[in-house]
Structure 1
Amino acid sequence: MIDARILLLGGGNMGSALLGGWLDNGLDPAKVTVVDPAVGPALQPLLNKGVTHRSVVPDEAFDIVLLAVKPQMMSAAVPPLKAAMQPDTMVVSIAAGTTIAAIEALLGERPVVRAMPNTPALIGRGITGAYGNASTSADNRAAATSLLEASGPVEWVDAEPLIDAITAVSGSGPAYVFHLAECMAKAGAALGLDADLAMRLARHTVAGAGELMIRSDDEPAQLRKNVTSPNGTTQAALDVLMGEERLARLMDEAMRAARDRAAQLAKG
Structure 2
Amino acid sequence: MKIAILGAGNMGLSFSKSFLKYELIKPENLHLITRNESKFPKIAEEFPKSRISAFEDVPELDADLIIIAVKPQDFAHAAENFRFQLKEKQMVLSIMAGIKIGKIQKLLGHPLVVRAMPNSPTLLGMGITGYTAAEGISFSQLIHIERLLNSTGRSVYLEDENLLDSVTALSGSGPAYFYYIVDAMIKAGTEMGIEENLSRLFVQQTMLGAYHLINNSEKSLEELIQDVASKGGTTEAALKTFNDSRLKELLKNGILNAEKRAKELNG
Q: Which moved more, 1:79-88 or 1:94-103?
A: 79-88
Q: 1:230 and 1:140, CA in 2 relative to 1: closer, same or farther beyond 3 A?
A: farther
- Taking the aligned partners of 2:124 and 2:61, their CA distance within structure 1 comes to 32
- Taking the aligned partners of 2:261 and 2:215, their CA distance within structure 1 comes to 29
User: Size of the alignment, in residue pairs?
Assistant: 262
Q: 1:152 and 1:144, CA in 2 relative to 1: closer, same or farther beyond 3 A?
A: same
The equivalent of 2:253 in structure 1 is 253
Q: 1:181 and 1:228, CA in 2 relative to 1: closer, same or farther beyond 3 A?
A: same
The equivalent of 1:112 in structure 2 is 113
- Taking the aligned partners of 2:148 and 2:115, their CA distance within structure 1 comes to 13
Show the 5 A alignment for 1:121-200.
121-200=122-201
Note if 1:35 corresponds to 2:36: no
Q: After superposition, give the CA deviation of every residue in 1:171-226 in whole Å (9 maximum; x if it has no partner).
A: 11111101101111122223332334223322332244335545666654454455
The equivalent of 2:50 in structure 1 is 51
The equivalent of 1:94 in structure 2 is 95
Q: 1:8 and 1:219, CA in 2 relative to 1: closer, same or farther beyond 3 A?
A: farther
Asked if structure 1 preserves the Cα contact closer than 8 Å seen for 2:4 and 2:66, the reply is yes
- Taking the aligned partners of 1:5 and 1:80, their CA distance within structure 2 comes to 23
Q: 1:199 and 1:257, CA in 2 relative to 1: closer, same or farther beyond 3 A?
A: same
Q: Secondary structure at the match of 1:83?
A: coil
- Taking the aligned partners of 1:108 and 1:44, their CA distance within structure 2 comes to 31
Q: 1:60 and 1:251, CA in 2 relative to 1: closer, same or farther beyond 3 A?
A: closer
Corresponding letter in the other structure for 1:253: N
Q: 1:82 and 1:131, CA in 2 relative to 1: closer, same or farther beyond 3 A?
A: farther
Asked if structure 1 preserves the Cα contact closer than 8 Å seen for 2:59 and 2:83, the reply is no
Report the TM-score, using the length of structure 1 for normalisation: 0.85
Q: 1:243 and 1:114, CA in 2 relative to 1: closer, same or farther beyond 3 A?
A: same
Asked if structure 2 preserves the Cα contact closer than 8 Å seen for 1:94 and 1:115, the reply is yes
Asked if structure 1 preserves the Cα contact closer than 8 Å seen for 2:72 and 2:265, the reply is no
Corresponding letter in the other structure for 2:202: L
Identity %: 34
- Taking the aligned partners of 2:16 and 2:108, their CA distance within structure 1 comes to 23
Report the TM-score, using the length of structure 2 for normalisation: 0.85
Asked if structure 2 preserves the Cα contact closer than 8 Å seen for 1:63 and 1:86, the reply is no
Corresponding letter in the other structure for 2:50: V
Q: Which moved more, 1:36-45 or 1:125-134?
A: 36-45
The equivalent of 1:23 in structure 2 is 20
Q: 1:96 and 1:210, CA in 2 relative to 1: closer, same or farther beyond 3 A?
A: same
Q: 1:192 and 1:237, CA in 2 relative to 1: closer, same or farther beyond 3 A?
A: same
- Taking the aligned partners of 1:215 and 1:25, their CA distance within structure 2 comes to 28
Q: 1:225 and 1:99, CA in 2 relative to 1: closer, same or farther beyond 3 A?
A: same
- Taking the aligned partners of 1:64 and 1:141, their CA distance within structure 2 comes to 12
Asked if structure 2 preserves the Cα contact closer than 8 Å seen for 1:117 and 1:127, the reply is yes
Offset, 1:257: 1.1
Long gaps (5+) in structure 2: none
- Taking the aligned partners of 1:134 and 1:14, their CA distance within structure 2 comes to 26
- Taking the aligned partners of 1:265 and 1:203, their CA distance within structure 2 comes to 34
The equivalent of 1:5 in structure 2 is 2
Asked if structure 2 preserves the Cα contact closer than 8 Å seen for 1:57 and 1:84, the reply is no
Long gaps (5+) in structure 1: none
